[in-house]
Structure 1
Amino acid sequence: MKKILFLVPLAFLLVAIGCKKIDQLLTFYIEDTQNIRVAGNSVVGLIPIAPVAVTTRSEEKFKNEDTRADLVKDVSLNKLTLTITDPNNENFDFLESVTLYISTEQSDRVALASLSSVPTGQKVIELKPSGAKLDKYLKASSYTLTTEARVKRAVSQDITMRADSRFKVTADPL
């Protein structure tokens, strides 16, 4: 009887560890890069930034990972970095806060990542992922990125930022 009482928790532990290992084997990352342009002559305060349409090519990406969209069970943003690419001498000192949103024609807009207090003197900043479940957005053929920025000083010339995102994707085995 003592052996059974010992083996039952051990069996549960082995199953839990096994499930975690299987999830790790079925997890992969999708990386994407988009350019976002802040128009020159922007005033201080909350400014709208032109939306960016993104073609996902998700079916191709899922196929490369030996899976299909219907087997994808969990998608979340793992990392989002903004880098100023033009003009070369600009940094994020003009920016107070920034939030990126994701949407599709069929799905509402949800926060993707944000940074409420942008550090000064930086050409590269990392935003904090919102933790939103993003399955339906990455399974779609396209999605739209919308940016809201709070500007603390006027922008006299166009600024181009590169948004590098990494999505964590987990699929079911069958």
Structure 2
Amino acid sequence: MLTLTFCSMKKIFLLLPVLALLALATFSCKKIKQLLTFEISHTENFKIPATPLVGGLPVTLNLPVPVTNKASETFSKQGTRADLVKDVTLTKLTLSIIDPTTENFNFLKSIEISIGTDQTDIVPLASLTDVPMGVQTIELQSSGTKLDKYLKAPNYTLYTKATVRQATTKEITVKEEIRFKVTADPL
């Protein structure tokens, strides 16, 4: 009986280092992934022109906003390159009225923002179908689209399609704040 116990203990002592190595490897992989996951933020302003309603019906506006992509600078600071980026997703897209400061989003019925590097590869980025009344800031819901291609490109365009529920007499300046989560391989 003592021999079996000694043998069993010997096996346990041999297994402990193996289990410890497995735990360490799992922990290390998670840590490396965390180190190679970072965020890229981008802010852009665009203008919504004064918009009369035609016959009392909602009007849909299409507003392309070209963006010079500076993500490669962030990739470099994070110790990676665009060709090593393997996963990009939108984590936040917020719109805030910055001029006139007294305006709110009451004029807006719905908004949809898409992203593309040219006219043939436009994909949905985020949208909000029922814009709340009386607010100066709204957060759109991400489409969940994989965005690697767009953040690796030197330029992309944000296409804003807005349905206006009431006339606006002044041009409105909106600040668009975007945050992307990026996972990449090390250099």
Letter aligned with residue 57 of structure 1? K
Q: 2:51 aligns with which of 41, 66, 70?
A: 41
- Stretches (4+) displaced over 6 A: 4-13
**Equivalent residues in 2 for 1:1-174, closer than 5 Å:** 15-43=25-53, 44-105=57-118, 108-174=121-187
Q: Could you state the TM-score of these two structures normalised by the residue count of structure 2?
A: 0.82
Distance 1:6 1:156 in 2: 74
Q: Percent identity?
A: 51
Q: SS in structure 2 opposite 1:90?
A: coil
Distance 1:80 1:9 in 2: 43
Unaligned runs of 5+ in 1: none
Deviations 1:149-174 (A, max 9, x none): 11111122111110000111111135
Distance 2:93 2:29 in 1: 28
Letter aligned with residue 123 of structure 1? Q
Change in 2 beyond 3 A, CA 1:42/1:136 = farther
Give the C-alpha shift of residue 50 in structure 1.
2.4
How well do the aligned residues superpose, as a CA RMSD in angstroms?
2.3
Distance 2:145 2:42 in 1: 17
Structure showing the higher strand proportion among its residues: 1
Letter aligned with residue 39 of structure 1? P
Whether the aligned pair in 2 keeps the contact of 1:46 and 1:148 (CA below 8 Å) is no
Q: Which has the larger radius of gyration?
A: 2
Distance 1:127 1:82 in 2: 8
Give the C-alpha shift of residue 8 in structure 1.
8.4
Unaligned runs of 5+ in 2: 1-7
Distance 1:106 1:150 in 2: 21
